[in-house]
């Protein structure tokens, strides 16, 4: 659905007399499949918005190519515009307009007839639970309501792909959960959704696949589960008394699913395994069969933050 | 046609928002009316005009051109607010014609200027100003072209500088010499030769002379077609340049 090769963008900015060049995006290669929720995870200034704005034809890339919904970004930006929707990070509604007016006009800018635009506006207002406020000026909306109008605007023309730049930033937990549902609903309607976020839990819970971005580069890409596994697999903390620990270590060391085994000082083992869920029953069987007294098994899953940490040497939480 | 349709859509929205906040009309008419009431009476003796009506014939066209220039030049501020709200960026991701994004807005400015001009002309009628209707319409065409040009330029500059703080001094700096060198408030008839020489290079000076000729009923005056031609060419250039800014503006 989206394919990019070596997408680049630098900005020149003037600070006093000096001109500085910021390499905002330095060669991004991505592949996004049809019907998935693809997440762009990265700290402030990673280049997420810049990449999205390039893909949405708002700024011209300095280098590289991209195909979006079958249209070539460089050769046919007009066709790209017809096939995508884009919701900016900073919002897009005018204080003095009403949600309905914005939706109708926006639909009409895509060439949709007046009657159809009104129908779609009504439908979108319903779907996003905005009907109650539809004819009130946007300046009277809450942040969450306003954000929902932004999203409704982005999909009013039923695009194949929608780009959502930080759709949940600034929302309270409840509105965020709502927004996640809305975004999942878009996927069920067959839309490909490309979101950016700097929330780990959001990338984890919402996205089918993610790319982690840092300093203008994609440092890792895959499903959240893959990424976490790729880094360190999972860790099983096996609780044993000190006496049976050596024997258990001996038994488990030869098992194929254990990539690494460490003995814990006070007794017990730390097993590095590919997939904890399948390893647990095997460990239980093995130790039980040998008549060893097992106290506890604890599964420690690495988070996306661990992924980010190993790839960049920094924690996303801190940056 | 796509351009016409898109322009109409943008224009409609802009007019709707304008009507929602009609303070502009009051502000836009109040100032010129003050000029008409408090400044114009000084003109009869100053201009050596035979009657008050004759003085108005010279002053009112200048006042209208002044309105057209300033009304246009300061429209960029509204655009910066739209830019900040993300409205422009949202429009730019749709396939809407970039020229329409500009024209829809500039035409609103032209329409609101013409409304102002009509009100002022009507008031001037009370002071015995008399103009041939056909000539008046030609004069309005001149005003419309001026407003189209100045508002387009203002939008283009706004998209380039993206901040009110930069736009305000820039527009003032442009407006002041343009104003002084165009003989808007007083004709340059009595100006020293060097001043008239400089004014020749000011397109607005031609526009003012042309508009005055029309108000004087002097259609045959070369200044009429020259003024119209100059502002028409400049308006087209301004529109083309500003539309290009809409096509490539960054945030
Ligand atoms: N128009 C611009 N002019 C100059 N520099 C820019 C411009 N836009 C972005 N940048 C710079 O490019 C870099 C990437 O910015 P970008 O907005 O893409 O980051 P981001 O990942 O979206 O961050 P955030 O999470 O804060 O939204 C930053 O260093 C930013 O300062
Ligand atoms: Mg961003």
Q: What is the pLDDT tens value at each position of chain B, 251 positions in all?
A: 899 999 999 999 999 999 888 787 788 788 888 878 887 777 777 777 778 788 888 888 988 998 899 888 889 999 999 999 999 999 999 999 999 999 999 999 999 999 999 988 988 888 888 888 889 999 999 999 999 999 999 999 999 988 888 888 888 888 888 777 777 777 766 777 777 777 778 888 888 889 999 988 888 888 889 889 999 999 999 999 999 999 886 65
Task: Specify whether A183 is located in the same domain as A242.
Answer: no
- Residue B128 is predicted with a pLDDT of 80
Q: Is the pLDDT of residue A266 over 80?
A: no
Q: How many CA atoms lie within 13 A of A39 on its CB side?
A: 29
Ligand 1 atom closest to Cα of residue A166: 27
Q: Report helix, strand or coil for A237.
A: strand
Q: Any residues with CB less than 8 A from the CB of A48 and at least 6 apart, and which?
A: A40, A42, A165, A196, A213
**Res A96: pLDDT:** 92
Q: How close B67 comes to chain A (CA, Å)? A: 26
pLDDT score at A207: 92
Q: Are strands A37-41 and A192-197 parallel, antiparallel or unpaired?
A: parallel
Q: Does B1 touch chain A (CB under 8 A)?
A: no
Task: Decide whether any atom of ligand 1 lies within 6 Å of the A94 Cβ.
Answer: no
pLDDT value of position B146: 95
Cα–chain-centroid distance for residue B210? Answer: 15
In a shared domain, residues A178 and A255: no
pLDDT of residue B250: 60
Closest ligand (CA of A10): 1
- Whole-number Å distance between alpha carbons of A106 and B88: 12
Mean pLDDT for chain A overall: 87
Q: What is the pLDDT of residues A205-221, one digit of tens each?
A: 899 999 989 889 998 89
Residues A32 and A88 in one domain: yes
Say if residue A29 is in the same domain as residue A12.
yes
Whole-number pLDDT of residue A241: 84
3-state class of B251 per DSSP? coil
Pair B210, B227: CB distance under 8 Å: yes
B34 in reach of chain A (CB within 8 A): no
Which range, A12-16, A269-273, B192-196, is most confident?
A269-273
Residue A8 confidence (pLDDT) above 60 = yes
Residues A33 and A147 in one domain: yes
- A56: closest CA among B226, B191, B20, B90? B90
In a mutational test of the A interface, the residue from B2, B90, B160, B250 whose CB has the highest number of chain A CBs within 10 Å is B90
Q: What is the pLDDT of residue A267?
A: 82
Residue A251 within any structural domain of the chain: yes
Give which of B96, B4, B103, B102 is closest to A82, Cα–Cα. Answer: B96
Query: How high is the pLDDT of residue A249?
Result: 86
Number of Cβ within a 10 Å radius of residue B128 = 12
Contact B86 A90 (CB under 8 A): yes
Residues in chain A: 319
Residues of B in contact with A81 (CB under 8 A): 93-95
What is the domain-level CATH number for residue A198?
Answer: 3.40.50.300
Residues A148 and A223 in one domain: yes
* pLDDT score for A265: 73
How is residue B173 written in tokens? 């700096």
Q: How confident is the model at residue A318 (pLDDT cuts 50, 70, 90)?
A: low
Give me the number of domains chain A comprises. Answer: 2
Report the separation in Å between the CA atom of A24 and the middle of ligand 1, taken as the mean of its atom positions: 6
Partners of A8 in beta bridges: A26, A63
The answer as to whether A193 is a domain residue is yes
**A68 and A186: one domain?**
yes
The pTM (predicted TM-score) of the whole model is 0.83
Same domain, A29 and A80: yes
Q: Are residues A159 and A284 in the same domain?
A: no
Task: Round to whole Å and give the CA distance between B185 and B188.
Answer: 9
Atom 31 of ligand 1: nearest residue by CA position: A45
Cβ A13 under 6 angstroms from ligand 1: yes
- Candidate ranges A139-153, A278-292, B52-66; pick with highest mean pLDDT: A139-153
Indicate yes or no: CB of B90 within 8 angstroms of CB of A88: yes
pLDDT score recorded for residue B192: 77
Give nearest CA residue, ligand 1 atom 18.
A47
Q: Are residues A219 and A238 in the same domain?
A: no
- Would you tell me how many other CB atoms lie within 10 Å of the CB of residue A189? 11
CA pair distance B236, B149, nearest whole angstrom: 7
* pLDDT of residue A162 exceeding 90: yes
Structural domain containing residue A48:
2-93+141-227
Asked if pLDDT for residue A299 goes beyond 70, the answer is: yes
Joined tokens for residue B97: 């014609």
Last residue of a domain, one of A200, A227, A254: A227
Same-domain pairing of A69 and A156: yes
Per the CB < 8 A criterion, the answer to whether B27 and B62 are in contact is: no
Ligand 1 in contact with A44 (CB < 6 A)?
Answer: yes
* Position with higher pLDDT, B56 vs A82: A82
CA distances from residue A113 to A84, A110, B89 in whole angstroms, order as listed? 19, 9, 22
The predicted pLDDT at position B27 comes to 80
The pLDDT of residue A61 is 92
A184 with A271, same domain: the answer is no
Q: Is the pLDDT of residue A43 over 60?
A: yes
Query: What Cα–Cα distance (Å) separates residue B34 from each residue in B41, B54, B123, B239?
Result: 11, 19, 11, 32
Ligand having the closest approach to the CA of A41: 1
Report if residue A255 sits inside a domain.
Answer: yes
Q: What is the arithmetic mean of pLDDT over A19-25?
A: 88
pLDDT at A187: 92
Radius of gyration of chain B, Cα coordinates, nearest whole angstrom? 19
Task: Give me the residue from A58, A94, A108 closest to B93, CB to CB.
Answer: A58
Q: A238: domain CATH number?
A: 3.30.70.100
Question: What average pLDDT does this structure show over A49-77?
Answer: 92
Mutation site for A-interface testing, chosen from B95, B104, B159, B247 by largest number of A Cβ within 10 Å: B95
In this prediction, residue A232 has a pLDDT band, given cuts at 50, 70 and 90, of low
A116 is a domain residue: no
């Amino acid at each position: 659905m989206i394919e990019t090769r070596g997408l680049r963008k630098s900005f020149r900015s003037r600070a006093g007399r000096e001109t500085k060049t910021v390499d905002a995006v330095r060669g991004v290669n991505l592949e996004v499949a049809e019907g998935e929720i693809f997440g762009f995870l990265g700290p402030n200034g990673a280049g997420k918005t810049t990449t999205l704005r390039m893909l949405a034809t708002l700024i011209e890339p300095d280098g590289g190519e991209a195909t979006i919904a079958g249209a070539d970004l460089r050769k046919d930006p007009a066709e790209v515009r017809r096939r995508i929707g884009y919701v900016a990070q900073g919002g897009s509604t005018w204080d003095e307009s009403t949600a309905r007016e914005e939706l109708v006009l926006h639909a009409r800018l895509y060439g949709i007839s007046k009657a159809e635009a009104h129908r779609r506006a009504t439908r979108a207002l319903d779907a996003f639970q905005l009907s109650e406020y539809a004819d009130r000026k946007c300046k009277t909306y809450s942040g969450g309501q306003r954000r929902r109008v932004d999203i409704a605007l982005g999909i009013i023309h039923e695009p194949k792909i929608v780009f959502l730049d930080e759709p949940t930033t600034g929302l309270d937990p409840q509105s965020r959960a709502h927004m996640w549902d809305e975004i999942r609903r878009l996927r069920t309607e067959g839309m490909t959704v490309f979101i950016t976020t700097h929330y780990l839990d959001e990338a984890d819970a919402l996205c089918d696949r993610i790319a982690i971005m840092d300093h203008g580069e994609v440092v890792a890409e895959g499903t959240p589960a893959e990424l976490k596994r790729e880094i360190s697999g999972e860790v099983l903390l096996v609780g044993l008394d000190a006496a049976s620990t050596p024997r258990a270590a001996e038994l488990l060391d030869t098992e194929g699913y254990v990539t690494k085994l460490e003995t814990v000082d006070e007794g017990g083992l730390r097993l590095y395994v590919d997939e904890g869920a399948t390893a647990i029953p095997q460990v239980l069987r093995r130790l039980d069969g040998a008549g060893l007294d097992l106290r506890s098994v604890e599964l420690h899953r690495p988070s996306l933050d661990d992924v980010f940490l190993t790839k960049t040497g920094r924690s996303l939480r801190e940056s | 046609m796509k351009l016409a349709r898109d322009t109409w859509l943008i224009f409609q929205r802009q007019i709707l928002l304008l009507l929602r906040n009609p303070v502009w009309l009051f502000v836009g008419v109040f100032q010129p009316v003050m000029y008409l009431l408090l400044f114009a009476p000084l003109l009869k003796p100053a201009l050596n005009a035979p009657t008050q009506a004759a003085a108005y014939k010279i002053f009112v066209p200048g006042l209208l051109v002044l309105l057209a220039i300033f009304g246009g030049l300061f429209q960029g501020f509204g655009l910066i607010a739209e830019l900040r709200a993300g409205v422009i960026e949202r429009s730019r991701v749709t396939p809407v014609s970039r020229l329409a994004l500009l024209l829809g807005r500039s035409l609103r400015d032209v329409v609101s200027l013409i409304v102002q001009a009509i009100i002022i002309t009507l008031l001037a009628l009370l002071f015995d100003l008399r103009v041939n209707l056909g000539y008046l319409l030609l004069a309005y065409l001149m005003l419309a072209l001026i407003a189209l040009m100045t508002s387009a330029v203002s939008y283009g500059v706004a998209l380039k500088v993206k901040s009110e703080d930069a736009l305000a001094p820039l527009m003032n700096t442009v407006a002041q010499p343009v104003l002084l060198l165009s003989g808007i408030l007083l004709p340059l008839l009595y100006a020293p030769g060097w001043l008239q020489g400089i004014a020749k290079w000011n397109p607005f000076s031609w526009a003012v002379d042309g508009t005055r000729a029309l108000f004087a009923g002097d259609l045959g005056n070369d200044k009429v077609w020259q003024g119209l031609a100059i502002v028409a060419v400049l308006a087209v250039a301004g529109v083309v340049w500003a539309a290009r800014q809409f096509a490539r503006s960054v945030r």
